[in-house]
Homo-oligomer: A and B are copies of this chain.
Amino acid sequence: VTNDPRPATRNPQPATFESHLRTILGDAHVITDPDLKASYETDWTRRFSGSARAVVRPADAKQVAAVVRACAAEGIPIVPQGGNTGLVGGSIPRGGEVVLSLARLGAAEPVDTMAAQITIEAGVTVASLQNLARDAGLMYGVDLASRDSATVGGTIATNAGGLRVLRYGATRAQVIGIQAVLPNGEIIERMSGLTKDNTGYDLAGLLTGSEGTLGIVTRARLKLWNPPVARATALVALDSLSEAISLLGRVRGLASLDAIEAFFNDGMQLVCDHTGAPRPFPGVSGCYLVIECAAQSDPAEELASLLDGSPEVKAAAFATERPQREALWRYREAHTEAIGAAGVPHKLDVTLPLARMVEFEATVRAAVESATPGARAILFGHLGDGNLHVNVLGPADDDERADDAVLRLVASLGGSISAEHGIGVAKAPWLHLTRSPADIAAMRAIKAALDPQGIMNPGVIFGAQ
């Protein structure tokens, strides 16, 4: 999908505006050469692309603010960009914007071990943040497959979820304070690290998950956790998702539960074909789970004993050492690359009420095939959160009939059309399915209050105006 250009902006003399940017940032950090711009103009799924007027790479919040003021003065729209690992086109230009990359904001203060917090800039990758926490004897609560590229700022802007939401919450639950540049170029900041602070509105929480439409996160104060000392992982085969949900009811009582991830036989087959891994159990099962427990003392016995006593379990493999655990996780984690090797999927990330999930799984594949003949849906996800990733293979990039069928099915079952990826531009046409006119009007009022010119990531969440 190459997005349409945004409505025409006031049209300043390009030379004047760009030379202003060069004065602020230096020549090296204002990129207008098409070859150099290209990597900022297409997302990694290859589904979204657009042309940027310029790509700018400020070094700190002050430079970000100066760029925002320059753009605001000319009415030129801005697309903030972190690690460019988003899945809904929210950090890709639609046409003519300034792409503002946070990549150079890469500093981190030493971990505050007394408070179990870290102050870190937006451009640091999640993997680097995880390493800094680990080196201080702590851990960061969010982990996701794109950890090596995804950035602190991007994960805050999208309220990223990932593999540990069940235990530690999504990104918003990690954010103690942020520094951000608002659309008027002002910098807001609460970095005192106070976990209890009821002085006015929760601006940090509001900006978290706002997808770059209300401001640009430049720095954050994040919560860290005491890491568990031992982990146990099980790969479990079951007859059906219904059996898996029944097992979830038992497993959820374990205080050590860290993750419970689901996938199905079609995904297992794709992964084994793609990675060459052997089928883990003889025969075919309707549903598979990866269950991980983590605690201060070894949780393996507790987990094994619970699964032994659970009639839903057809077969189970256990691991406590990292290489063996990783081999079990690979069946789940290789889904993304195995699906990517089979085509460019439409990635639909949805939540269902647990009580409606079986009904959804039983009908979504047929709904996809009926919407787009020849298309097929591969499902996997975070069962503990009610979150399924529906990957639709087959439809052309701009054929959204299957997307529409899936999202309408989700809405009809009381689910959410975006669990953790956000709305971006990809899902903006369907926002109204699960947010009421009053909700959307309130969101638009807040957007207009903070960004009256509409220059901050236009088109994202609300669609083209």
Q: Give residues 175-204 of A contacting B (CB, 8 Å).
A: 182, 186-190, 192-203
Q: Cβ of A441: which chain B residues have Cβ within 8 Å of it?
A: 186
CB distance from A343 to the nearest CB of B (A): 25
Q: Cβ of A249: which chain B residues have Cβ within 8 Å of it?
A: 114
B206 engages A205 (CB within 8 Å): yes
- Given A192-B353, A194-B351, A443-B203; A182-B418 close (CB under 8 Å): no
How many copies are assembled? 2
CB distance from A355 to the nearest CB of B (A): 6
A28 interface residue (CB < 8 Å to B)? no
Q: Cβ of A186: which chain B residues have Cβ within 8 Å of it?
A: 438, 441-442
Q: Identify whether the interface residues of A are mostly helix, strand, loop, or mixed.
A: loop
Q: Hey, which bits of chain A sit against chain B, CB under 8 A?
A: 114-116, 158-159, 161, 165, 169-170, 172-173, 182, 186-190, 192-203, 205-206, 208-210, 214, 226, 249, 252-253, 255, 295-296, 351, 353-355, 382, 385-387, 414-423, 427, 431, 434-436, 438-443, 445-446, 448-450, 461
Q: Cβ of A450: which chain B residues have Cβ within 8 Å of it?
A: 442, 445-446
Q: Cβ of A434: which chain B residues have Cβ within 8 Å of it?
A: 192, 199
B159 engages A198 (CB within 8 Å): yes
A431 engages B209 (CB within 8 Å): no
CB distance from A165 to the nearest CB of B (A): 6
Q: Residue on B with the closest CB to A214?
A: B201
B203 engages A209 (CB within 8 Å): no
B354 engages A198 (CB within 8 Å): no
What would be 7 A-B contacts, judged by CB atoms less than 8 Å apart?
A114-B354, A195-B351, A195-B385, A196-B351, A196-B385, A226-B252, A255-B295
